[in-house]
Amino acid sequence: MTALSDTWYMLVRLLRATWRQPVWVVVELVQPFMWLVLYGQLFGRVTEIPGFGARSYIQFLTPGVAVMTSLFGSAWAGIGLIEDLDRGVLDRLLTTPASRAAIVLARVLHSGTAGAVQTAIIVLVGTAMGARIAAGAAGAALLLAVAVLLGGGFAAASNGLALLVRREETFIAVLNFVTLPLTFLSASLMSTALMPAWMRAASRLNPVNWAVEAARAAFSPPAAWGAAVGDVALLAAFLAAASAFATWAFAAYRRSA
Amino acid sequence: MTADAPAIEVVDLRKVYPGGVRALDGLTFTVGTGELFALLGPNGAGKSTTVRILVTLTRPDSGRARVAGHDVEAEPQAVRRAIGYVAQHSAVDREATGRENLLLQGRLYHLPGRRLRARVEELLTSLGLGDAADRVARGYSGGMRRRLDIAMGIVHEPRVLFLDEPTTGLDPESRAALWRDLTDLRRRTGLTVLLTTHYLEEADALADRVAIVDRGRVVASGTPAALKAELGGDTVVLDVGAGVAAAVAHLLAGAPQVLEARAVGGSVHVRVADGARALPALMALVAGAPYEVRSATLSRPSLDEVYLHHTGRAFAQADAAGQDGGEGA
């Protein structure tokens, strides 16, 4: 019970800090809109390539951008933890009786909240630009679940990474090394049908691609949801593995202190 | 915890950091309930490591430590509930206001809302942060941040408060204000305080008892007055120049009225029973050698002399050397 209230109070702290950076809030809200417009214009005609498989690119792109945004937002979650670590805030929290799990959990939930808000905005903008969620509310719920699972997983992994490397420069280098390839090894922007065979094989092991496939299903009629069930299960497993990694990294940090 | 159990009990703590730095080498001391106890030592002496072990952030390699009657390794949660910790560097959340910082800290100790809000109000007022309470801490001065740190350390009314170098980096005015706050706090609450410092005058002014820490061990402990009295007599400091200080010290150590003579840089510190009487004789002895005495001062022993006596090094030099050796371990 106290673990829950500890998590809540720490989450409030993080959300409040985010809210107090109006520029950040505006950028984060406008950025998805920019992705949709830029990619939509840039790649709009790829649907004419034989074998692409979708007729409307905005219909194809909206779930892809939703997943990309969730990935980029959550992958950076660890940077705030490094700041807490440098400032001595983490040590201060560790000398209180507060739940240890709450410290990381609050950060994961913070990313999840931000990701859910961004996903909602993308869906609204995408819909305004012509995308349709065929299954209505059920589709929107599936999309939200995908964003939360992927965002939570990457946020946990990011916090674990932060506790291991403990330096902003190293953390940023590793992130840049990982996030863009994961995006391009997925169907976010391009149909996997048009990928070279090796990339298609690699994309099957990529959590980002699982999320994109499931999110795209959410925009389709429920009849096409069959494959999404497997993807959602894989995403849940990814979240569990990432949480285990974060827990382990936290224990390692405490041992080395 | 029974009434007469010590608030802090540290027995033979040892800790070697990866890379072979021996931070603690058999550290032992006891702090009674209600005492203000100072760990005095230069940078790198092992003070912060000791505090980090006592507040459950670090584990010792061996030895035993109890705080408020609880073993720090076996019952860390019980220790955490009983203590407040103010780290060497300010650990306030700069994106939150002073009030928000205090409220969050109190909630993590599970204080009920109404009592917490009253307590926070009281602390903001008594530490002079009332006007800044609803401003984000990013804009606070160093002294204000330090006061907020201390308020956060005591918001839950702990039994034992740990202050790690609380005045390092503060201007003299803020330091004096913090000393006043601390004295005031103790008078009102009877709180036990463990303070680490590398300011001799701070230990002298604030502490009921002092332990002098050198290279991970306690080399002397007692009330500041007792430590100084133990040395006895007065200190005569003769400035003779770096080239000959060692020779002069050697010469004076043989004189009958001299208890102890040590070269420190270009000076010789000479301990004698009666400084006023001994001074002319010492001067004559040095002049006859013949060496030149550039200046002479006479003082009652300070903690500086106590440190020199127990470690063979002058405090300021050890402190500077410790600073070069990296972070204050």
- Tokens representing A238 are 């990814």
Confidence of residue B3 (pLDDT cuts 50, 70, 90): low
Interface of B with A in 89-108 (CB under 8 A): 89-96, 100, 104-105, 107-108
The pLDDT of residue A1 is: 66
Tell me which residue in B77, B85, B93 faces A89 most closely, judged by beta carbons. Answer: B93
Interface of B with A in 117-136 (CB under 8 A): 136
Residue type, B321: A
How many whole angstroms separate alpha carbon B63 and alpha carbon A39?
A: 63
How many whole angstroms separate alpha carbon A118 and alpha carbon A114?
A: 6
Residue type, A163: L
B75 has a chain A CB within 8 A of its CB? no
How many whole angstroms separate alpha carbon B286 and alpha carbon B289?
A: 5
What's the gap in Å between the CA of B56 and the closest CA on chain A? 7
Q: Do B91 and A88 touch (CB under 8 A)?
A: yes
For B146-192, what is each residue's pLDDT tens digit?
Answer: 999 999 999 999 999 999 998 887 888 888 888 888 888 888 888 99
The pLDDT of residue B327 is: 40
How many whole angstroms separate alpha carbon A5 and alpha carbon A102?
A: 9
CA angle B100/A19/A21 to nearest 5° reads 105
The pLDDT of residue B118 is: 96
Q: Can you name the residues that pair with B272 across neighbouring β-strands?
A: B234, B258
Rounded to 5, what percent of chain A is helix, strand, coil? 80, 0, 20
Q: What is the dihedral of CA A18, A21, A22, A27, to 10 degrees?
A: -80
Place of tokens 């005492």: B35
Q: Range with the lowest mean pLDDT among A176-180, A187-191, B265-269?
A: A187-191
A-chain CB neighbours of B109 within 8 Å are 96-97
Confidence of residue A91 (pLDDT cuts 50, 70, 90): very high
Tell me which residue in B80, B90, B92 faces A96 most closely, judged by beta carbons. Answer: B80
- Of B12, B41, B39, B33, give the one whose Cα is nearest residue B318: B41
The pLDDT of residue A160 is: 95
β B192-197/B36-40 pair status: parallel
- Of B294, B303, B301, give the one whose Cα is nearest residue B259: B301
- Of B26, B40, B3, B52, give the one whose Cα is nearest residue B197: B40
Taking all residues of chain B, what is their mean pLDDT, rounded to a whole number? 89
The pLDDT of residue B4 is: 64
Share of chain A above pLDDT 90, in %: 44
Q: Range with the lowest mean pLDDT among A98-102, B78-82, B217-221, B311-315?
A: B311-315
A-chain CB neighbours of B85 within 8 Å are 92, 95
β B22-31/B83-86 pair status: unpaired
CB B92 within 8 A of CB B143: no
Phi and psi at A11, nearest 5°, equal -65, -40
**B323 pLDDT more than 70:** no
For A197-249, what is each residue's pLDDT tens digit?
Answer: 998 888 889 999 999 999 988 888 877 788 888 999 999 999 999 999 999 99
For B42-80, what is each residue's pLDDT tens digit?
Answer: 888 899 999 999 999 999 999 999 999 999 999 999 999
Q: Do B77 and A97 touch (CB under 8 A)?
A: yes
Alpha helices per DSSP H over A48-99: 57-75, 78-87, 89-94
Q: Do B107 and A9 touch (CB under 8 A)?
A: yes
For B198-239, what is each residue's pLDDT tens digit?
Answer: 888 888 889 999 999 999 999 999 998 888 887 777 888 999
Please state the pTM of the whole predicted model. 0.84
Give residue limits of the domains in chain A.
2-256
CB B307 within 8 A of CB B266: no
Longest CA–CA separation in chain B, Å: 77
Q: Can you name the residues that pair with B213 across neighbouring β-strands?
A: B218
